[in-house]
Amino acid sequence: MCKLVILLVAAVVIAVTHAHPHPHFHPPCPSMHHVLEECTCTGPYNGYPSIVCDGHDMSSSQAFSVMEALPRDVTYSSIELHGFDHMEEVPEHVFDGLHFEHGSLKIDDSHHHGVAPVLHAHSFEGMYHLEELTLSYLKLTGVPAIIFHSIEDSVERLSLKGNDITELIPDAFRLNSAHPRRTETWAGDDLMRGLD
């Protein structure tokens, strides 16, 4: 009798789980093959896939097209774009609606013939649960304060490693007083901590 009850409970749990899937169900990487082009999907890591786009395999405009086409009903572990020699800009709203689980977004070793890509006020807007943003080796010469208002609600760590920061705008790290919390920012090897 006890075994019958256990089997019945297990069957109900399985039926309910399949009838009401989690809104951010994590499909395996192959189900995204039609949008990935030359990008790769690894994982899932802890149940969440990671996407990598390499500039040796595609142009930055192709990579950003992939970002726009990625399913918004999937939760991601990380997204990385690296090695783009012709990245003129990070378009506005290109990552809008992407969901992460303690996730990271990394744009690395990318520029336009040695000139930093333009970062717009809304380039990184609209992502959910993005904890770490890395903008490394992009030829940046100043702290990209223009993006801060769109990331301050979720990003806990901003890495600017490998950029020759020569210009620091006053109050560049000042947070909106409505959202006081500790932030950590790396500029080169120096860790600056700002409290608001």
Radius of gyration of the chain measured on its C-alpha atoms: 20
Is 43 among the domain residues? yes
| First-residue to last-residue Cα distance in the chain | 62
Q: For residue 99, what are the domain limits?
A: 24-194
Q: Which residues contact 12 (CB under 8 A, 6 or more apart)?
A: none
Is 1 inside any structural domain? no
Predicted confidence at residue 23, as pLDDT, reads 43
| Domain-located, residue 134 | yes
In a domain, 11, yes or no: no
pLDDT at position 136: 96
Q: How much is the pLDDT for 54? A: 95
How many structural domains compose the chain? 1
What's the pLDDT score for residue 154? 82
pLDDT, position 19: 40
| CA distance linking residue 188 with residue 172, whole number of Å | 16
Q: Is residue 19 part of a domain?
A: no
pLDDT number for residue 47: 77
pLDDT at 60: 95
pLDDT in tens, the chain (196 residues): 555 444 444 444 444 444 444 444 445 576 777 888 889 998 766 778 999 999 999 999 999 999 999 999 989 999 999 999 999 999 999 999 999 988 999 999 999 888 999 999 999 999 999 999 999 999 999 888 888 888 888 899 999 999 998 887 766 666 554 544 444 444 444 434 332 2
- What is the structure's pLDDT at 188? 40
> Residue 75 domain-assigned?
yes
Question: Quick check: is 181 in a domain?
Answer: yes
Task: Specify if 10 maps to a domain.
Answer: no
